[in-house]
Amino acid sequence: MSTVIKNGTIVTADLTYKSDVLVEGGKIVAIGEGLVGDKTLDATGCYVMPGGIDPHTHLEMPFMGTYSSDDFESGTRAALAGGTTMVVDFALPSPGQGLLDAMQMWDNKSTRANCDYSFHMAITWWGEQVFNEMEAVVKRGINTFKHFMAYKGALMVNDDELYASFQRCAELGATPLVHAENGDVVAELQAKLLAAGNNGPEAHAYSRPSQVEGEATNRAIMIADMAGAPLYVVHTSCEEAHEAIRRAKMAGKRVWGEPLIQHLTLDESEYANPDWDHAARRVMSPPFRDKKHQDSLWAGLQSGTLSCVATDHCAFTTEQKRFGVGDFTKIPNGTGGLEDRMPMLWTHGVETGRLTPNEFVAVTSTNIAKILNCYPKKGAILVGADADIVVWDPAKTKTISASKQQSAIDYNVFEGKEVKGLPRYTLTRGQVAVTDGDMTCESGHGAFVAREPNGTV
């Protein structure tokens, strides 16, 4: 059965033109005028764009014997509702656990996914087993390894481990990723704040100032440079980190930065909310920042010094958040965003004139596919590409509300925000999953996307 998308304007990272798109067998089989198919989707007044890719999610993330509330089923359903057709999640080995073991666990979690997905593998400790299994992981189609420079005593790895792992990545043609905050300093500041009686969610922000992120970003860039590897910096939230990335790029280094939709549109004043729940629900790392950092992030998207927009979607419920009442360091870190990333970015980016529609596609999809090396299977409107497509209606509006969302969390950090620009249709490998807000996605439809090493970008 074939499907044709008619009367729309195709918008890709580098082109805008009117044409129909014919889909069959999960792929784009033709682009041209006057195409016909078994089924017709009307895209009048709409942009036909590559579906969004969220390069940074934590679905069914383990926490104190429970899990974050969005699993691969509800998480990918939320994604599709917002025009995102692929997510890349993090396989997180426990200290001492093998990488292949962890991958098995994440494979198991993802069986009910509604859209395609891939994994990053985290390097949470170092040893010969890790060194060896990295090769097997790459052979399994994972070419990206995540490193935490914070979360001391838990996920954090030290500089010599970073160097060793980055060097291994270089050998394997893989790309290291970093969560860049100086974990030693964060731990010291946390202790100091708690000792002074500052135990509320606002102290979370005080304990992770932008300088601490900027420093770690700068350090990771140097270590990658010495090890001969490129570097992808997740959740770049501030001018200091952006400055380090810019400076590296100016020296010809291959470094990418990933701002989150939350940091682009929300600020630290959220933590001043007298409602503990309100503030705690916004606790994530890095925390929301002063507005001047937002200017920096938007300019980075405009100039290309920042490359991708993600969510770090990690949907802890209010109940889980309350584990940290009386001690902000125990509040689980994470917020939602998967469902709202595309409409929020369109509203605050394209509607305001900051970004062109082509740039919107680049930072939500195409750049990500290129950097993660699954382009043009993903991130493209090209014959032969997967039919992961969003038919975007720039006139469609809604007010964001947890009460109406697909995501399983009981709140939404964007609650009450108006958005303009929403999917009319979302297609995952040719299957229509969303029609004007109605969900017709299918649990288990999503497939793992293997990504080769040695990307040419």
Contacts with a copy of itself in 216-275 (CB under 8 A)? Answer: 218-219, 222-223, 225-226, 243, 246-247, 249-252, 254
Residues 6+ apart with CB under 8 A from 247: none
How many residues lie near a copy of itself (CB under 8 A)?
A: 54
The Cα 113–Cα 161 span in angstroms is: 33
d(CA 71, CA 349): 29
Q: Which does 312 bind (CB under 5 to 8 A by kind): a copy of itself, Zn ion, none?
A: Zn ion
Binding mask 303-332 for a copy of itself (x = CB under 8 A): xxx---------------------------
Task: State which residue, 197 or 252, has the beta carbon closest to a copy of itself.
Answer: 252
Q: What angle do CA 257, 258, 264 make, to 5 degrees?
A: 120
Of 130-138, 257-265, 326-334, 355-363, which part binds a copy of itself (CB under 8 A)?
355-363
CA dist 379 and 420 (Å) reads 22
Give whichever of 140 and 179 is closer to Zn ion, judged by the CB atom: 179
Cα angle 115, 405, 9; round to 5: 60
Question: Binder to a copy of itself among 15, 136, 154, 395 (CB under 8 A)?
Answer: 15
Least distance from C-beta 231 to Zn ion, angstroms?
A: 15
Positions 300 through 319 that interact with Zn ion (CB under 5 A): 312
36 in contact with a copy of itself (CB under 8 A): no
Q: State whether residue 95 is helix, strand or coil.
A: coil
Contact string 153-182 vs Zn ion (x = CB under 5 A): --------------------------x---
**Site of tokens 């590897």:** 229
Helices 128-139 and 159-172, axial angle in degrees (round to 10): 30
Q: At 213, which amino acid appears?
A: E
Bridge partners, residue 177, by sequence:
146, 232
What's at 424, amino acid-wise? R
Report in angstroms how near the CB of residue 212 gets to a copy of itself at its nearest: 7
What is the per-residue burial (b if ≥16 Cβ within 10 Å, else e) of 321-337? bbbbeeebbebbbbbbb
* Runs of H (alpha helix) within 251-317: 261-265, 276-281, 291-303
Residues that bind a copy of itself (CB under 8 A): 13-16, 158-160, 163-164, 167, 182, 184-185, 187-189, 209, 211-212, 214-215, 218-219, 222-223, 225-226, 243, 246-247, 249-252, 254, 292, 298-300, 302-305, 354, 356-358, 366, 370, 375-376, 383, 456-457
Query: Contact positions toward Zn ion, by CB under 5 A?
Result: 179, 312
